[in-house]
Amino acid sequence: MTVDGYHSDSSSPISAAVCNCAVMLTRTSVGVSLRAVKTLRLLVVVLVSLCVFIGVSAASSPAQEESSAMENISTEKKAEESHRQDSADLLIFILLLTLTILTIWLFKHRRFRFLHETGLAMIYGLIVGVILRYVVQVSRANVYPTNCFVNSSPATLLLNISGKFYEYTLNGEISANEVNNMKDNEMLRKVTFDPEVFFNILLPPIIFHAGYSLKRRHFFRNMGSILAYAFVGTVISCFIIGLLMYGCVTLMKHLGKLGGDFFFTDCLFFGAIVSATDPVTVLAIFHELQVDVDLYALLFGESVLNDAVAVVLSSSIVAYQPQGDNSHTFEAMALLKSLGMFLGVFSGSFSLGVATGIVTALVTKFTKLRDFQLLETALFFLMSWSTFLLAEACGFTGVVAVLFCGITQAHYTFNNLSPESQDRTKQLFELLNFLAENFIFSYMGLTLFTFQNHVFNLMFIVGAFLAVFVGRAANIYPLSLLLNLGRRNKIRSNFQHMMMFAGLRGAMTFALSIRDTATYARQMMFSTNLLVVFFTVWVCGGGTTQMLSCQRIRVGVDPDQENSMSFADGSERRSTKQESAWLFRIWYNFDHNYLKPILTHSGPPLTTTLPPCCGPLARFLTSPQAYENECQLKDDDSDLILTDGDISLTYGDIMVSTDTTGAHASGGQAADDLDRELAYGDHELVMRGTRLVLPMDDSEPPFTDHLRM
Amino acid sequence: MTVDGYHSDSSSPISAAVCNCAVMLTRTSVGVSLRAVKTLRLLVVVLVSLCVFIGVSAASSPAQEESSAMENISTEKKAEESHRQDSADLLIFILLLTLTILTIWLFKHRRFRFLHETGLAMIYGLIVGVILRYVVQVSRANVYPTNCFVNSSPATLLLNISGKFYEYTLNGEISANEVNNMKDNEMLRKVTFDPEVFFNILLPPIIFHAGYSLKRRHFFRNMGSILAYAFVGTVISCFIIGLLMYGCVTLMKHLGKLGGDFFFTDCLFFGAIVSATDPVTVLAIFHELQVDVDLYALLFGESVLNDAVAVVLSSSIVAYQPQGDNSHTFEAMALLKSLGMFLGVFSGSFSLGVATGIVTALVTKFTKLRDFQLLETALFFLMSWSTFLLAEACGFTGVVAVLFCGITQAHYTFNNLSPESQDRTKQLFELLNFLAENFIFSYMGLTLFTFQNHVFNLMFIVGAFLAVFVGRAANIYPLSLLLNLGRRNKIRSNFQHMMMFAGLRGAMTFALSIRDTATYARQMMFSTNLLVVFFTVWVCGGGTTQMLSCQRIRVGVDPDQENSMSFADGSERRSTKQESAWLFRIWYNFDHNYLKPILTHSGPPLTTTLPPCCGPLARFLTSPQAYENECQLKDDDSDLILTDGDISLTYGDIMVSTDTTGAHASGGQAADDLDRELAYGDHELVMRGTRLVLPMDDSEPPFTDHLRM
């Protein structure tokens, strides 16, 4: 056995920031907006050159030899220079993100909708990746051939050199070809993050924010369809893609174009990870143009949940371990075990997430923390974060737990927070989501050039694109057909085409692919996934507005008018009743009468709804406000049980009724408050993905007129 | 040479959170506040038991043997279990922080001022530390004796075991006694963070927030004194303490009580790191009780700057390397080199911090980012973070850079932000500061029991306490005497006593001590510093209110009335003029006429103030608002040049004058706006440390009446 060691050093970069700023200041021009744009362009150039500069400086350094007498100092120096290198690497990313932000502003300023910020971040990542790979000189690391004998790979290693002890931590296994790379390309390795960073640091805020900003009204209205797409659809997609890819690799093996092993489980794994959609671009455009709320809800809900399903599904597939040898044969026991793991992990994560949300709701309900917004916000943040850690510590999946925690927090805890804390928490997670998302997409662009074990195989790539396309179609169309049998508010075919088109891949696919790139199969999957993400984000994302126009999907829909709008087909109104009567009404009643009074300050008081035997418990749990506040001023799901005809919904003393035209006849001031609250509540919570909130003016959406049905 | 390897595993903890919540729900009681308090107590018990549970579960695990055939799986398993362990450890801290938050709320609810949140966090850390050390069963790690030959300690190591390569990263050097500890106490090691976490992750938000929330008016008014205390005072303190400690260790060596080497440079190092004051407790109480603003400014300004000085000073002392041997002898060249390093690092960090602040100001001025608060906030955050990374990459000190960046941002960039972004950035950094600070203080308490190389030496401890006391006195009293020769608004003796008393040590001292604990000397310093921090925070912090009363320092001072209040001694008024005439006026004019118009939208327009040759540049730099807005509505430093007699300050068309009684005679609506802006501006920015903002009511400060002079 041999122990090889190597190391490299870096010199210190000199900041050119101040010098470049002077360049910027001496420019002269006229007109504010023109000046701003020109300044911006210059700033972009400045920042890119700064990135290059830092990269060059950080990379250009000769390797050093040390004598044993200077060993102590050299170890400290090595640690210090390693730290400086890490700072420089992170700085490159910060500058990338800053560039992205400035360019986003420029795009918004010019109302440029064909390139969304995630696509833009990828482009910048690509540019920097090219620079780092082909422009920056890279030092060759020294390798010390040594001899060492160990029985197995310990987690921590103690090296005893001349009486001094040095501690080493196990990073992980390195494949043979990567060993050679390690010795060559130090710079590229340094800008490569440990894949677990994505799952432990970057994805949780994104997923939590998705759950926290779920547009509850329309989500719950379409809950059945969303669950169908997310669960059944993802599994269908996974297996269809897996089968198609298996056919593809079999063909490749037959033609001798396959460079390594690629088993059926690998195909299924690929199917699972590429089934996770991330239509952040599309949703942002939908939000901006105010596209039909049901379409938005379906797409958003599906993407949010199928991320969770894809994560657990891929873990279950990886856990498929038949007894005995490693030949990936079919074995019923192993299959059942995988299935059990899927169900176990998903439900465990779900429970933990919901449990933490419930605990937070109770804490915020029973304490007067709302008087201290800082404490309240801090507590909220900590408890949400603890969900992730708790799930990970228990062996479940943290991102799934935070998703359901976010949904629970939005549904219950949010109502207990003070208004300032509501704003603060929303803004905090909005910011974290924005930063994390753009970071991941920048990194995606960078990885195309910095990852050193790419396997680009044309047949596989073509096969993958076809499989993804077919898989998406097999997900959307059959399920829509089935769902439309049950739905009255049918999912129209243009919606289906839009959903088909909007199957963008993004952060989750990338993170799942990069998690393990040890084998040939995984490397090929990773390289192909990158291309899939690039294509869908740039082409499908960029073509969204055209697609909307092409499919004649109406825009400029005011989500608040949805309820009072007259429907062309009276039966659609009844559909809401039908649908809400079956799935939603059960949930709504339970939630409205029991869960909300327990976890928030809303009524009806538990003392009236619970049986007398639970009297003391009911009194303990019921908030004083629940007795006063019989009007559900903040309950913005209640409108879902409004039906046509002579229905009425009683809120204490106020009667709110609708007639067949859908117009509201309000019984008083409170009903107007109710409407305002409902409108306000939804409008605030419609955020998903990034904020493309343009200041609204009259020249807004160019599609509004001819697309309105 | 030998290579020893060891590892340990952990089983999965089962969350008892849901079960315990059920316990909580079944309690019955009457009255909201009583119920809330009882619930809280129960919750505290729950959370502590949860901590114990997690600790026990995470620690209890047998070591495992693997066969070579299962090696691949076992490596993955080890990585996975290590990850779960890390999640569990972090979860313990999150729960600690949650506990702290809930107890803080309880204290505020009961107006309990004797234990501040930092002291409380330390107590909780102590409790958990005791539990982890003495209650939790710890597994013994397996050690594999091996043979390995390497020439020097490489940064990264490749282990070749049976054809598989495993990558190891160098953590650092381990001292001999720690080696034995490593094999024994796995659990305690796991909850020990890499000290660089403090400097790279936890301290920057704290320091930035301190700079960003500096109360500008009073800071600049007392700028000379603050700089004197921070620079001169810290150096005095460092040397006095160093000398006294040298005497102490010499005595110890003479008596045979010294267990290892302790050189003069070590004494100086101790002096430097213990000179960093952190009176967060005192300042919070000052803010709550609204103590005299000058005292607040002096204490706050001193603490903020002396952290920066202490960091650089300690690095310079460590860098003192005489040529040849390692005997810590005096050598002029080495001394000059250290001095040069001090000046170089400090000014370099200062420049970088200010430069980044300036760049951010220019970017926010020249773009219309203020229309998009998310983008604006994200940019602000990223640019502030980039300061730290840039300074670290350049070999300077990141925390010093972020301090000055924060001050610059508060002074210039803040004015360019939209009102929403102003709130968002303030709240964001307030939250980060709160979390980071309480995390560090919890960790301090924990470290008392989890750190395995404590060296408690009674003589040294006693000597250190005396030295710290004397050092503080030598800092405050002589300098105050000297400053009072120049100041007209003299620093009264009761203020001096208060400043002497309020020399609490905290996060910076701890972080600097824990950074390097390899040698006997450093370990003894670390242990002693812990005790110093504990004592000062609990005793001095807790006794602040008594001290205020004892020293008859007035409370309930409205900072806005300061300017219009009549002074008992008319000469004090003139002192402002004198002082502002000399140091401040120069700065103020330069800032007001040149810097602010360049970096913000305020006037006067540069076209009027710059010479005609710079015409194009002036036109480029001058914002349109500067032409319109000749009234300095947002300039809250202007009042500092108000003097008595028949002075007047012209703001465009408005004349604001004061007469000898100090009453304002305003010339119109705009002057009222000005006063409101000044008052508003200061009041908002008075935050330092943690938020002890109690809802103000009439029963507030009990000292107000008899303490008012």
Check B386 against A94: CB less than 8 A apart. yes
Residue B88 and residue A389 in contact, taking contact as beta carbons nearer than 8 Å: yes
Neighbours of A616 (CB within 10 A): 12
Q: Is A627 within 8 Å of chain B by CB?
A: no
Spatial separation of the C-alpha atoms in residues A264 and A689, rounded to whole Å: 34
Alpha helices by DSSP H, B1-147: 17-25, 32-59, 71-109, 117-130
Q: Which residue of A has its CA nearest to B348?
A: A15
Q: What is the pLDDT of residue B145?
A: 42
Q: What is the pLDDT of residue A145?
A: 42
The shortest CB-CB distance from B91 to any of A152, A162, A386 is to: A386
User: Which of B586, B556, B564, B558 minimizes the C-alpha distance to B703?
Assistant: B556
Average pLDDT value for residue range A506-521? 91
From residue A478, give the alpha-carbon distance in Å to each of A226, A485, B228.
14, 11, 77
The amino acid that residue B105 corresponds to is: W
Distance of alpha carbon B236 from the chain centroid: 21
Spatial separation of the C-alpha atoms in residues B172 and B323, rounded to whole Å: 25
Q: What share of chain B is helix, strand, coil (3-state, %, to 5)?
A: 65, 5, 25
Distance of alpha carbon A85 from the chain centroid: 29
Residue A168 and residue B170 in contact, taking contact as beta carbons nearer than 8 Å: yes
User: Which of B511, B545, B466 minimizes the C-alpha distance to B204?
Assistant: B511
Q: What is the pLDDT of residue A155?
A: 60
Q: Which residue of A has its CA nearest to B7?
A: A155
The amino acid that residue B501 corresponds to is: F
Average pLDDT value for residue range A183-204? 75
Indicate whether A646 pLDDT > 50: no
Chain A residues with beta carbon closer than 8 angstroms to that of B422: none
Q: What is the pLDDT of residue B175?
A: 59
Non-local CB neighbours of A93 within 8 Å, separated by 6+ positions: A439, A442, A443
**Residue B143 φ then ψ, to 5°:** -120, 130
Q: What is the DSSP letter of A505?
A: B
Check A378 against B58: CB less than 8 A apart. no
Q: What is the pLDDT of residue B534?
A: 94
- The predicted model scores a pTM of 0.79
Check B157 against A157: CB less than 8 A apart. yes
Residues 415-474 on A with a CB inside 8 Å of B are 424, 427-428, 430-431, 434-435
Q: Which of A165, A321, A371 should one mutate to test binding to chain B, selecting the residue with the greatest count of B CBs within 10 A?
A: A165
ipTM of the complex: 0.78
Non-local CB neighbours of A65 within 8 Å, separated by 6+ positions: none
Q: Is A251 within 8 Å of chain B by CB?
A: no
Burial degree of B458 (CB within 10 A; 0-12, 13-18, 19+) = exposed
Neighbours of A418 (CB within 10 A): 17
Check A162 against B98: CB less than 8 A apart. no
Distance from CA of A127 to the nearest CA of B (A): 20
Three-state SS for B247-269 is: HHHHHHHHCCCCCCCCCHHHHHH
Which parts of chain B register pLDDT below 50? 1-32, 60-70, 140-147, 563-579, 631-709
Non-local CB neighbours of B71 within 8 Å, separated by 6+ positions: A152, A153, B161, B162, B164
Alpha helices by DSSP H, B580-709: 585-590, 596-599, 606-609, 615-621, 624-628, 669-684, 704-707
Indicate whether A248 pLDDT > 90: yes
Q: Which of A72, A109, A158, A424 should one mutate to test binding to chain B, selecting the residue with the greatest count of B CBs within 10 A?
A: A158
Q: What is the pLDDT of residue A93?
A: 87
The amino acid that residue B50 corresponds to is: L
Indicate whether A62 pLDDT > 60: no
Q: Is B4 within 8 Å of chain A by CB?
A: yes
Instruction: Show the tokens assigned to A302.
Output: 């599906």
Instruction: Show the tokens assigned to A219.
Output: 């989500």
**Residue B408 φ then ψ, to 5°:** -65, -45
Q: Which residue of A has its CA nearest to B104?
A: A375
Spatial separation of the C-alpha atoms in residues A688 and A285, rounded to whole Å: 11
Q: Which residue has the tokens 């301190």?
A: B210
Q: What share of chain A is helix, strand, coil (3-state, %, to 5)?
A: 65, 5, 25
Q: Which residue has the tokens 């044309």?
A: A458
Residue B484 and residue B491 in contact, taking contact as beta carbons nearer than 8 Å: yes
Instruction: Show the tokens assigned to B471.
Output: 């050092």
Helix then strand count (H, E) for chain A reads 33, 7
Distance of alpha carbon A327 from the chain centroid: 34
Instruction: Show the tokens assigned to A108.
Output: 């918004």
Q: What is the pLDDT of residue B188?
A: 65
Q: Classify each residue of B413-449 as buried b or exposed e, where b means 16 or more C-beta atoms within 10 Å of its C-beta.
A: bbbbbbeebbbbbbbbbbbbbbbbbbbbbbbbbbbbb
Distance of alpha carbon B91 from the chain centroid: 24
Residue A376 and residue A367 in contact, taking contact as beta carbons nearer than 8 Å: no
Residue A102 and residue B367 in contact, taking contact as beta carbons nearer than 8 Å: yes
Three-state SS for A193-229 is: CCCHHHHHHHHHHHHHHHHHCCCHHHHHHCHHHHHHH
**Extended beta strands in B606-707, E state:** 648-651, 654-658, 664-665
Instruction: Show the tokens assigned to A662.
Output: 């859908």
Q: What is the pLDDT of residue A576?
A: 47
The shortest CB-CB distance from B1 to any of A71, A161, A381 is to: A161
Confidence of residue A622 (pLDDT cuts 50, 70, 90): confident
Spatial separation of the C-alpha atoms in residues A214 and B154, rounded to whole Å: 50
**Residue A620 φ then ψ, to 5°:** -65, -40
Q: What is the DSSP letter of A610?
A: S
Please tell me which residue, A186 or B532, carries the higher pLDDT value. B532
The shortest CB-CB distance from A374 to any of B90, B109, B431 is to: B431
Spatial separation of the C-alpha atoms in residues A650 and A657, rounded to whole Å: 9
DSSP string spanning A65-124? ---GGGHHHHHHHHHHHHHHHHHHHHHHHHHHHHHHHHHHHHHHHTT--SS-HHHHHHHH
Q: Which residue of B has its CA nearest to A104?
A: B375
Spatial separation of the C-alpha atoms in residues B355 and A272, rounded to whole Å: 48
Distance of alpha carbon B297 from the chain centroid: 16
Please tell me which residue, A571 or A384, carries the higher pLDDT value. A384
pLDDT digits (tens, 9 = 90+) for A477-502: 999 999 998 887 888 899 999 999 99
**Residue A177 φ then ψ, to 5°:** -70, -30
Q: Determine the angle formed by the axes of helices B293-318 and B332-366, rounding to 10 degrees.
A: 130
The SS3 of residue A550 is helix
Q: What is the pLDDT of residue B32?
A: 42
Residue B649 and residue B656 in contact, taking contact as beta carbons nearer than 8 Å: yes
**Residue B610 φ then ψ, to 5°:** -85, 155
